[in-house]
Structure 1
Amino acid sequence: MSFLERRRTRGALFGSLTAIPLVLAGLLAAPASSADIPGKDEIVKSPNMRHLVNVPKQGPFAAPSAYNSDLAFKGRYAFAGNYDGFVVYDIARPARPKIVSQVSCPGSQNDVSIAGNLLFLSTDAPRTDDSCQSAPGKVADASSWEGIKIFDISDVRNPRYVKAIESECGSHTHTLMPGKRGETFLYVSSYLPSVPSTGTGPDCREPHDKISIIKVPHRNPAAAEVVAEPVLFPDGGNPGDGRPYPEGTRATSGCHDLTTYPDKDLMAGACMGDGVLFDVSDPREPRVIDIVRDDENFAFWHSASFNNRANKIVFTDELGGGSAATCNTAIGPEKGANAIYEIVGKGDERRMEFRSYYKISRPNADTENCVAHNGSLIPVKGRDIMVQAWYQGGISVWDFTDSRRPKEIGFFERGPWSDTISPLGGSWSAYYYNGYIYSNDIQKGLDVLEIDDPRTDPGKRVRLDELNVQTQPNYFD
């Protein structure tokens, strides 16, 4: 989630999240034909998609305000973030996943990643302290805490809290970069440090054109620390196009999400107003190779995915911050969409060239938050295929092998979760892991799906021991 959720957690201009859709409704919503939209909670899907199971949110995570967030995988386990902590699922039998443990540890967004027996959680809202018993803190209070929490998951039934590392402006998302000496580097992304209604906190000031890099020694994770804070945009980045939010492009003030491709020494950055290609051959010093902008159609550069050859990047635009109905005719097919760029040239002369947009075409109700969100490659050699979450727009499997003519080849969605656009619902992350699609639905819980299609079937033969989607594996080289 991006700008609007950030504002909510910092006590912001628009007030509560419940009020946000009322602000956006007049700007973004358009009447949709009810005949084309599934009924409340009704499932519709393409013939090649099978919905194997849903595991509802449970216990302390069952409340509508306990949003499910990102996913990571290790062996037979899936780790699912939630604003109130994280859940460990045993997915050895994908059609019958079991909850192994639930860890209560509040802290928006609690995006999660795995490195060996370590689990990392992002906290991007002020807390009274760094414990799992903390309460919401205040931006203006220097003692408030935001950053990364580390857990030991060698016993998945009893994860153990190891360490917390505070980072400037918190951690909205984080991305792993493997080191070469038994360590992992965490690239911590945060953005929008100042909020007009509350001012700037003492630990988070403009300009904030940087990331925090945390080094975690695997043998001694308690020694983890911030080792660098490189400024990625010494010129300040995109100043924004001057149009009011949500139509206008956001000024760059940090990055929302980074995706590393360690085998290629590359990283793609979705940085509010900028799409960036980095060289990360030195993990402590990411170096900008090229920057692209799209002030006409992109409001908020949210996330990025390479294809396996690393000669394409798919950037997403999270128009409306994930809190608005943007999958409608009023917004059209080029806003709140994916943008496909091809990487041309070599070395430092590489540059990104725009090819096309892709957006789901199915109509959505005005009560459904819908926009491009988190997805991953389906590993099919010689083809570029992704599965992707679209919040209440559902899950789309699409092929961008022809960069100029992307097309959907499968989908799954539910009808509106609620009679109003708040609270939020839908698929936050939809990822392909060892032959199956796993979706962390904000309200409905974990969904497991399978796609049976000649174009994607080769992916079922590819097996991984670990998957953090924002640290892309090289499937075939």
Structure 2
Amino acid sequence: MFPLRRSIVVAAAATALALAGMPASAADIPPPDAVVTSPNVTHVLNIPKPAPIAATINTDIAFQGDYAYVGNYGGFSIYDIRNPKRAKAVSSVVCPGSQMDVSVYGNLLFTAVDSSRNNDSCSSTGQSATIKESWEGVRIFDVSDKANPRYIKSVETNCGSHTLTLVPGKGRDKNKNVYLYVSSYLPQADFPDCQPPHDKISIIKVPLRNPTEAAVASTPVVFPDGGNETQPGLLVPTTGCHDITVYAEKDIAAGACMGDGVLFDIRDRLNPRVTARTTDPNFAFWHSATFTNDARKVVFTDELGGGGAATCNEATGPNRGADAIYEIVRGKLVFKSYFKIPRYQADSENCVAHNGSLIPVKGRDIMVQAWYMGGLSIWDFTDASRPREIGYFERGPRSDGSGGGIWSAYYYNGYIYGADFNEGLDVIKIDDRLTDGARHVRTDRLNVQTQESFPGGGHGGGHGGW
């Protein structure tokens, strides 16, 4: 391991450069496996992956009460985080199927499977999607007993479920049903259950009193005239959405749809309606979206290289593989600027904008975000035209030469949690005057793709889950 004193010096130097608006040079890349942070960030704890799923990579995180639910290509794990400094794994469920995007609601955990399986069971094996009987979609678990989760239902969806977004019901429906917006893509003519052009999402209705009755209730077409398919530099043409973030109390959603950025009206939960759409010549793959608390801005991420390439280097530059900040003006998306971490990574490190969440600070727009082997970045975009990094955590290149890094980084009740491909779950703390206002903001649940307003944070109003 890299000596602590030396790592602090490197971190302080990189932070000084970042605050000055200058990119760190290649000379500032940490030694292999070294943990480095900005001076305002502390690495509180690392919890290695539990043995049953240690061989497969960590992915997404959901939170409820005193527990974190961490997805993994091999299944998922539940962690007790009531004392973040002593967080520990409670259980692991072996149930393979990428990517295991997760959302939690009450006693139900929803997991996304986007790899074709020979059946829907947890003992299934991979099988070609050209076989009609193959399965992929959503699995539902009862997690009322955290030590012994129970698999209670599967729902097959066209082209599987790369990601899923939990959408609460509204009005009289509010306490009766939840909905899952299922994003999937890459149809193929010889896939019986994933036929082109696909350009749609699947919506699963889950009756809360009888979740085993969950079923696909609607398959609205997002791009009736086709999506962005011809732009040079696209990773793949638009054939659906990669990820959708809903702001249910405002009846809006933002879709990151491969080659397109989209706004939806979701007043009718089963029939979301596209209200705005944009493209960007610098974007290769619209990956995810985050609204500000007042819903006047939205951040879209670009997964240049599909997450497997080194794009945080000088050769790639600051405007590709970055975040794009848009203001929402009279219902339209108005581009303001890009943000990319100002710390160059080695050419051996896969690094690109990935999953993050707001830090609930009144009157400011601050986000924590994963960047794979770029670690996690804490950045302020209150001024949408001049975003800046205010803190970070990262590891140096892996000594074995392999890839990995932090898939998801989310703020929950005073701490930041990062799901690292290989290293497990990291617990991190930021101590900074810009984020101190979030210290006493508490919520009972956090599904990042289901955004809820936090108190006093701009013009959003309401408390949602915070």
Give the alignment's TM-score, normalised by structure 2.
0.91
Distance 1:256 1:455, change over 3 A: same
Inter-partner Cα distance in structure 1 for 2:71 and 2:318? 30
SS in 2 for 1:240: coil
- Tell me the amino acid that sits aligned with residue 345 of structure 2: N
Gaps of 5+ in 1: 1-31
- SS of 1:126's equivalent in the other structure is coil
Mean Cα deviation higher: 37-46 or 166-175: 37-46
Match of 2:289 in 1: 304
Whether contact under 8 Å (1:367, 1:419) holds in the other structure is: no
Contact 2:415–2:429 under 8 Å retained in 1: yes
Percent of paired sites with the same residue: 62
CA contact (8 A) 1:256 1:303 kept: yes
Equivalent residue runs for 1:72-221 within 5 Å: 72-180=62-170, 181=173, 182-194=176-188, 200-221=190-211
Q: Does 1:314 align with 2:295?
A: no
- Match of 2:256, as an amino acid? A
Residues 1:471 and 2:450 aligned together? yes
Pick from 434, 441, 448 the counterpart of residue 427 of structure 2. 448
Is contact 1:272–1:301 with CA below 8 Å preserved after alignment?
A: yes
Equivalent in the alignment of 1:19? none
Q: Work out which of the residue numbers 270, 273, 276 in structure 1 matches 2:256.
A: 270
Letter of the 2:416 counterpart: I
Pick one of 40, 59, 73 that aligns with 2:32: 40
SS at match of 1:341: strand
Instruction: Say if 2:213 is the partner of 1:223.
Output: yes
Cα contact 2:25–2:343 (8 A) shared by 1? no
- CA drift of 1:419 comes to 4.1
Q: How far 1:250 sits from its partner (Å)?
A: 3.4
What is the CA distance between 1:193 and its match in structure 2? 1.6
Q: Deviations over 1:336-393 (max 9, x none)?
A: 0000000011xxxx10100000000101111110000000000011100000000000
CA distance in 1, matches of 2:40, 2:25: 26
Cα deviation code 1:216-266 (max 9, x no counterpart): 01110000000000001001011231x3xxx33632100000000011100
Tell me what 2:334 maps to.
Answer: 353
- 2:314 alignment partner, one of 321, 326, 329: 329
Question: What letter corresponds to residue 322 of structure 1 in structure 2?
Answer: G
How far apart are the structure 2 equivalents of 1:249 and 1:108?
20
Map 1:50-69 → 2, pairs under 5 A: 50-63=42-55, 66-69=56-59
Quote the Cα distance in structure 1 between the aligned partners of 2:50 and 2:447.
24
SS in 1 for 2:116: strand
SS in 2 for 1:125: coil
Structure 2: which amino acid aligns with 1:190?
A: S
Aligned partner of residue 165 in structure 1, secondary structure: strand
Tell me, in whole angstroms, the C-alpha distance in 2 between the residues paired with 1:278 and 1:363. 35
How far apart, CA to CA, are the structure 2 residues paired with 1:359 and 1:122?
28
Distance 1:418 1:210, change over 3 A: farther
Check whether the contact 2:361–2:438 (CA below 8 A) recurs between aligned residues: yes
Indicate yes or no: 2:389 matched with 1:408.
yes
Deviation of 1:417 (Å): 1.9
State the distance in 1 between where 2:250 and 2:414 align: 25
Letter in 2 for 1:292: T
Query: What residue is the counterpart of 1:433 in the other structure?
Result: 412
- 2:235/2:305 contact within 8 Å kept: no
Per-residue deviation, 1:35? 2.8
Give the AA of the match of 1:48: N
3-state DSSP class of the match of 1:188?
Answer: strand
Per-residue CA deviation, residues 125-181 of structure 1 (Å, 9 max, x unaligned), is 100100001011111100000000000011111101110000000000000110132
Distance 1:179 1:402 in 2: 34
Residue type at the aligned position of 2:219: E
> For 2:50 and 2:309, how far apart are their aligned partners in 1?
26
Instruction: Choose from 239, 247, 260 the match for 1:253.
Output: 239
SS of the aligned residue for 1:328 comes to coil
1:223-242 to 2 correspondences below 5 Å: 223-241=213-231
Q: Which residue of 2 aligns with 1:375?
A: 356
CA contact (8 A) 1:240 1:250 kept: no
Which residue in 2 is equivalent to 1:286? 272
Secondary structure class of the residue paired with 2:152: strand
> Could you tell me how far apart the structure 1 residues matched to 2:430 and 2:29 are?
22
Unaligned runs of 5+ in 2: 1-23, 456-460, 462-466
Instruction: Tell me the amino acid that sits aligned with residue 270 of structure 1.
Output: A
Partner of 2:4: none
Structure 1: distance between partners of 2:75 and 2:112: 10
